Amino acid sequence: MKKNRVLVAMSGGVDSSVAAYLLKKQGFDVIGVTMHLWAEADSDSACCSLSSVEDARKVASKIGFPHYTLNMKKVFEKKVVSNFIEEYKRGRTPNPCVRCNQYIKFDALLKKAEELGAEYISTGHYARIEKKRGRYFLRKGKDQSKDQSYFLYCMSQKALSMTLFPMGDIKKTKTRMIAKKLGLPVADKKESQEICFVPDDNYGKFLQDHFKENIDPGPIIDKKGNVVGEHNGIIFYTVGQRKGLGIGGSGPYYVISIDKKKNAVIVGGKNDVFREELLAEGINTISFAMPSEPIEVKARIRYNAREEKATLEAFGKGLVKVKFNKPVRAVTPGQSVVFYDGDIVVGGGIIKE
């Protein structure tokens, strides 16, 4: 007798392919789905390209379960791509993968699962879900080198209750071994390091092609207010950047902030890139309400950053203040800051300033 039906989001990569196999092996009624998200995703490495869809179909056929393609281009453009463009207009550096998880995988896909009579959805994320005392907790994947819990802090209790992460307990090396043993066509497929809708990882060209207004140049200003150069448009710069500034003088210079109102890029020395605190908005605490008193956490200000000890406290309506025990480099508005208690994800938000 089969277990409950599960809708597995298949990107055409090895992780989601092995996730589907593991669930099938456990007796779940597996349905594979690949989401068509972006019409321009023609790169072979893009997770919704035609070649990726074909790879997912081959895996489904090999393992023995149905596979379908879902058209989610409209919601993806509205919730992810448009936000990506608007954030850069504001002089911020967004993380579209976080929004894709929030609005596509754990919102639109959950609704689709309910329409198809599936009790669960599943992805190839390296993370774990645990239920204790009637609440669901999001935990890091056991393979610390592959842990993807950072991208999942927006998950709700409902989403956690309906999601399975079969990759959370295994290492990536074992994933490859399983795929090779099964003879899956994606066993040696390289991982995409790109954002799926940005061809060749060329942010600048993508933004130029999709901006509806002119991209205006403006001044590059040092901390004292002196104009030391000219930028090509604030969309091409991010906090912490050193290369490509095109200015000499007493540098090296680093971008320390972006002033949207003045259309200016502010630069300083190496030490000026460090900050002791930040404000974050759009806060989601996963398993409990935001405490009224400050709490000690470890905070990560971008996916590939180290976790740093910090104090987290509510700071006005919808905001939190994060005070670090020691200064951290390149706190970047638009990026996500995620809070941990050991391997449990407390929650996270978007860096405001």
**Residue 175 Cα to chain centre, angstroms:** 21
Buried b (16+ CB within 10 A) or exposed e, 253-273: bbbbbbeeeeebbbbbeeebb
Whether residue 113 contacts residue 162, with contact meaning beta carbons closer than 8 Å, is answered with yes
Name residue 257's beta-bridge partners: 266
Q: Which residues are catalytic?
A: 100, 196
Whether residue 340 contacts residue 350, with contact meaning beta carbons closer than 8 Å, is answered with no
- Rg of the chain in Å (alpha carbons): 22
Return the structure tokens found at 221.
């200003």
Of 112, 105, 115, 26, the closest CA to residue 65 belongs to: 26
Phi, psi dihedrals of residue 96, rounded to the nearest 5°: -65, -25
